[in-house]
Amino acid sequence: MASLTPLFSGSGGNSAYIGGAGGGILIDAGVSAKRLCAALCGIGADPRRVAAIFVTHEHIDHVAGLRVFCQKHHIPVFATQGTLRALERQGALAAGMHVSPIPSEGIPSGGVEAGGLLVRCFRTSHDAAEPCGYTCEAEGGEKFALATDTGFLTGETREALLGCDTIMLESNHEVTMLQNGPYPYFLKRRILGDLGHLSNAACADFLPQLLRRGTGRFYLAHLSRENNTPEVACACARAAFDAAGARAGIDYELKVCAP
């Protein structure tokens, strides 16, 4: 049975595994190949059985281990055309690597089949070349989604997430902590802008709607070490569920990916 397992989440590196012990895919490879291999083995997944890596965007905390890991295990890479061009410019791809674009004109009707999953992308709003998130549908019908590194939830993102069984959604910062924190003004503006990162409140506001449309498992992801804590993010999400009359452990399961 397929599942979504966050491996790393935050500015120090990002990667998630979707699949089972027999194989699956990675979304992003933002830590060293050595750490990726150790994390996969730690959840009982064989790095050699990773069928593909799907990249959300070219920032280093999402692709730091991409080149070495793919060369070592001969794994194909999928990303939007804009992201692939950016990866090539920054030297994250090597000659001989199998690289393919994934359509980004909304949610394509077909998608890409890899590791027993049908993978589709949707556009996000971030200061990168052509960022995206992904939905993955398993052969058994389970549907997973990952949406991080987005300044706000676009209509396309919302539509893609509705109806997924398990969702990994950004809950990057608590706005007051960020505003009163040590970051320089330009960085605060970047994070709070439409091309920045999703706040706890913006994430929490969408959770009850996802629950009503069938999502039962939620991961809060890409938390800031400086402008958030797992406890604060979790409390904000639980307050939204409580206001909707949802019961933790009965109606939904909520986990926080520690930064």
User: Which whole number is the average pLDDT over 128-150?
Assistant: 96
User: Which whole number is the average pLDDT over 231-251?
Assistant: 98
Q: Give the pLDDT confidence score for residue 105 in this predicted structure.
A: 56
Q: Rounded to whole angstroms, what are the CA distances from 243 to 62, 101, 167, 233, 237?
A: 34, 42, 20, 16, 10
Please check the confidence at residue 259 and state whether its pLDDT lies above 90.
Answer: no
DSSP 84: H
Close Cβ partners of 51 (under 8 Å, ≥ 6 residues apart): 19, 23, 24, 25, 75, 76, 114, 115, 116
Q: How confident is the model at residue 79 (pLDDT cuts 50, 70, 90)?
A: very high
Q: Which helix (H) or strand (E) holds 176?
A: helix 175-179
Q: Give the pLDDT confidence score for residue 111 in this predicted structure.
A: 87
Q: Give the pLDDT confidence score for residue 109 in this predicted structure.
A: 53
CB of 43 closer than 8 Å to CB of 21: no
CB atoms within 10 A of CB 11: 17
- Domains of the chain in start order, with CATH, are 3-256 (3.60.15.10)
pLDDT digits (tens, 9 = 90+) for 146-201: 999 999 999 999 999 999 999 999 999 999 999 999 999 999 999 999 999 999 99
Residue reference for tokens 């794994």: 75
Question: Is 71 exposed, middle or buried (CB count within 10 Å of its CB: 0-12, 13-18, 19+)?
Answer: middle
pLDDT digits (tens, 9 = 90+) for 81-114: 999 999 999 999 998 899 999 876 544 456 899 9
Q: Rounded to whole angstroms, what are the CA distances from 245 to 8, 87, 136, 177, 206?
A: 31, 45, 29, 28, 15
Please check the confidence at residue 258 and state whether its pLDDT lies above 90.
Answer: no
Strand partners, 3: 19
Q: Give the pLDDT confidence score for residue 104 in this predicted structure.
A: 63
Q: Which helix (H) or strand (E) holds 112?
A: strand 112-114
| Residue 34, token pair as written in the block | 């050595």
pLDDT digits (tens, 9 = 90+) for 14-64: 999 999 878 999 999 999 999 999 999 999 999 999 999 999 999 999 999
Q: Give the pLDDT confidence score for residue 21 in this predicted structure.
A: 75
pLDDT digits (tens, 9 = 90+) for 203-216: 999 999 999 999 99
- CA-based angle 170:151:18, to the nearest 5? 35
Q: Which helix (H) or strand (E) holds 113?
A: strand 112-114
| Residue 130, token pair as written in the block | 């052509």
**CA atoms of 177 and 175, how far apart (whole Å):** 5
Tell me, letter by letter, the H, E, C secondary structure of 205-235.
HHHHHHHHCCCCEEEEECCCCCCCCHHHHHH
pTM to 2 decimals? 0.96
Q: Which of 197, 181, 50 is nearest to 116 (CA)?
A: 50
